[in-house]
């Protein structure tokens, strides 16, 4: 694209200022996806879509800074980031090497490293705060260490997962080493893939045999986390998310039955008795209410504090590795599983959590989530930058923990907010009302 090319909705140079804040003009966006995010962007007042530019050679893309905001896919970023110049005001989804956290083998490698470093520098007791990911080895590289561990724990169940695949694909459970010998022989390798010259990397992980059950069913929880900066680390946690239930009652008798053991929607929707109207989801609000009624508010708060710990430790484990770029942000989908003691375990972290809605409620959740994300990024420059809550997002960490100053009574016993972390997963999400008040408050601060 030449410098002078005119793009509809593109007002070259106008309204841009040295601080990178977009002034009094429309915000130009690009979007690689066709789902809820596109609806949100199209519905946002003052935002204007810039036509696709897939056919333009990478080196000339963005030579004019022809967009302000780009919700791109990971492949696009990988192909273009290194040759791309970003202007002060531009924001783009994904950090360059997000896979350090979102590939199953690398996530564990980074967590193990920070755990060791913590034990060395702060003692063994501190290392215990990392006991939230099941024992995991990378295969084939750590096969021999795994076999040693396997022999030490006869009879337990292990789960094998391809390191870079998603939606439950290629996963299986096993009890006998023989099953893995078959895998080693290549039985589970996609031999049809002509580009593969080395065996596919898997992780083998201790299977959590005692998941927390509701109605006899296993579930995991999808938690949304927004990172706007790695240095300093600045993290937001969204109040709403959902629990995904398996369709079939839990049992360890049939470990080959994926409908029992894998809670992915992609798997469950193929179950013979799956009801698309009912789905297999609960909101995080429903879940928190249920757990609080059953175990008390304090026990639930303790369990959810464990989720905060998972989020922060995992992000810290890659803080020095991720290429921090002030233009980049990431919205992660964390998958958390509770065991029968209500202890949360980290299963995996997704850099592209599904934004396709499975029903009306799911659409409303994702629409609000993404709209609020844009409110946090604040390309419109409507906020003061000091906010601790924006819509459904609560500021969890900014170079250190954030404490709540307006506790949500529903989730906070005794109304004591002075030592409560600013973390409200599953609490009431009155996002629209909150935003109205927030913008009014920000306006009056700016006027004074
Ligand atoms: P994928 O990226 O393919 O979704 P996950 O690691 O998220 O892979 O695993 C898929 C599902 O398998 C999870 O949602 C969870 O229900 C189940 N699962 C994965 N790991 C474990 C584990 N260690 N213990 C118990 N269940 C697990």
CA of 239 to the centre of ligand 1 (A): 23
* CB of 107 closer than 6 angstroms to any ligand 1 atom: no
Average pLDDT of the segment spanning 154-164:
94
Percent of the chain as helix, strand, coil, to the nearest 5? 35, 20, 45
What does R_g of the chain's alpha carbons equal in angstroms?
23
Ligand 1 centroid to 304 CA: how many Å?
A: 20
Assess contact for 363 and 384: CB atoms under 8 A: no
Q: Which of 198, 128, 138 is nearest to 163 (CA)?
A: 138
**What spacing in Å lies between the alpha carbon of 219 and ligand 1's midpoint?**
10
Could you tell me the pTM of the whole model? Answer: 0.91
Element housing 37 (H / E): helix 36-43
Q: What is the pLDDT of residues 398-445, one digit of tens each?
A: 999 999 986 555 676 665 656 789 999 999 999 999 999 999 999 888
Nearest to 238 by CA among 43, 434, 25: 434
Q: Does ligand 1 come within 6 angstroms of the Cβ of 335?
A: yes
User: If you take atom 23 of ligand 1, which residue's CA is the nearest one?
Assistant: 207
pLDDT, tens only, 78-120: 888 888 888 888 999 999 999 999 999 999 999 999 999 999 9
Q: In a mutational test of the pocket of ligand 1, which residue from 188, 337, 345 has the highest number of ligand atoms less than 8 Å from its CB?
A: 337
349 close to ligand 1 (CB < 6 Angstrom): no
Please give the Cα distance from 118 to 135 (Å, whole number). Answer: 18
| Burial class, 199, CB count within 10 angstroms (exposed 0-12 / middle 13-18 / buried 19+) | middle
The average confidence (pLDDT) of the chain is: 87
Give the range among 5-9, 78-82, 253-257, 371-375 with minimum mean pLDDT. 5-9
Structure confidence by residue, pLDDT tens digits, 3-62: 233 333 333 334 443 344 566 678 999 999 999 999 999 999 999 999 765 544 444 455
Residue 292 pLDDT exceeds 60: yes
Residue to mutate (ligand 1; options 108, 168, 200; most atoms within 8 A of CB)? 168
d(CA 413, CA 296): 10
Q: Which two tokens stand for residue 104?
A: 């199953």
- The DSSP secondary-structure symbol of 211 reads B
Helices 360-377, 36-43: crossing angle, 10 deg rounding: 50
Q: Summarize the confidence of residues 353-357 as an average pLDDT.
A: 94
Q: For 193-218, what is each residue's pLDDT tens digit?
A: 555 567 789 999 999 999 999 999 99
Q: Classify burial at 386, counting beta carbons within 10 Å of its beta carbon; exposed 0-12, middle 13-18, buried 19 or more.
A: exposed
Q: What is the pLDDT of residue 40?
A: 97
Name the nearest CA neighbour of 208 among 149, 262, 139: 262
Burial class (CB within 10 angstroms; exposed 0-12, middle 13-18, buried 19+) of 388: middle
* Mean pLDDT score, 240-269: 90
Report the pLDDT averaged over residues 180-186.
74
Which residue's alpha carbon is nearest to atom 27 within ligand 1?
207
Residue 234 three-state SS: strand
Residue 103 alpha carbon to ligand 1 centre in Å: 13
Per-residue pLDDT at 138 exceeds 80: yes
């Amino acid at each position: 694209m030449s410098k002078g090319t005119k793009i509809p909705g593109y007002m070259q140079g106008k309204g841009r200022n040295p601080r990178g804040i977009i002034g009094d003009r429309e915000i130009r966006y690009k979007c690689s996806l066709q789902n809820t995010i596109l609806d949100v962007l199209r519905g946002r007042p003052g935002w204007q879509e810039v036509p696709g530019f897939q056919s333009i050679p990478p080196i000339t893309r963005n030579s004019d800074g022809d967009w302000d905001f780009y919700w791109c896919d990971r492949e696009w970023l990988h192909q273009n980031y290194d040759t791309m110049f970003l202007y002060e005001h531009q924001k783009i989804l994904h950090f360059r090497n997000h896979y350090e956290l979102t590939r199953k083998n690398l996530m564990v490698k980074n967590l193990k490293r920070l755990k060791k470093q913590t034990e060395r520098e702060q003692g063994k007791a501190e290392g215990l705060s990392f006991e939230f990911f099941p024992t995991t080895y990378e295969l084939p590289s750590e096969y021999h260490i795994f076999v040693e561990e396997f022999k030490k724990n006869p009879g337990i169940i292990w789960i094998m997962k391809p390191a870079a695949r998603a939606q439950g694909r290629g996963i299986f459970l096993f009890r006998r080493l023989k099953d893995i010998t078959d895998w080693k022989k290549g039985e589970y390798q996609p031999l049809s893939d002509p580009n593969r010259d080395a065996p596919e990397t898997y992780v083998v992980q201790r299977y959590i045999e005692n998941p927390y059950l509701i109605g006899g069913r296993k579930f995991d929880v999808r938690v949304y986390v927004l990172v706007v900066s790695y240095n300093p680390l600045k993290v937001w946690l969204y109040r709403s998310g959902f629990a995904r239930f398996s369709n079939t009652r839990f049992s360890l008798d049939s470990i080959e039955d994926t409908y029992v053991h894998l809670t992915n929607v992609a798997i469950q929707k193929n179950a013979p008795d799956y009801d698309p109207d009912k789905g297999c989801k609960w909101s995080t609000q429903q879940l928190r209410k249920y757990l609080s009624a059953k175990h008390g508010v304090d026990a639930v708060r303790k369990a959810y504090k464990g989720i905060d710990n998972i989020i922060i430790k995992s992000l810290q484990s890659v803080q020095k590795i991720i290429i921090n770029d002030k233009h980049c942000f990431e919205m992660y989908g964390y998958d958390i599983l509770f065991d029968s003691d209500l202890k949360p375990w980290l299963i995996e972290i997704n850099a592209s959590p599904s934004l396709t809605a499975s029903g009306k409620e799911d659409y409303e959740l994702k629409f609000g989530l993404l709209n609020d994300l844009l409110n946090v990024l604040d390309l419109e420059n409507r906020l003061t930058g000091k906010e601790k809550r924006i819509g459904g997002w609560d500021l969890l960490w900014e170079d250190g923990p954030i404490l709540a100053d307006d506790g949500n009574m529903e989730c906070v016993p005794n109304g004591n907010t002075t030592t409560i972390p600013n973390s409200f997963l599953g609490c009431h999400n009155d996002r629209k009302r909150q935003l109205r008040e927030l913008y009014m408050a920000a306006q009056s601060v700016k006027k004074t």
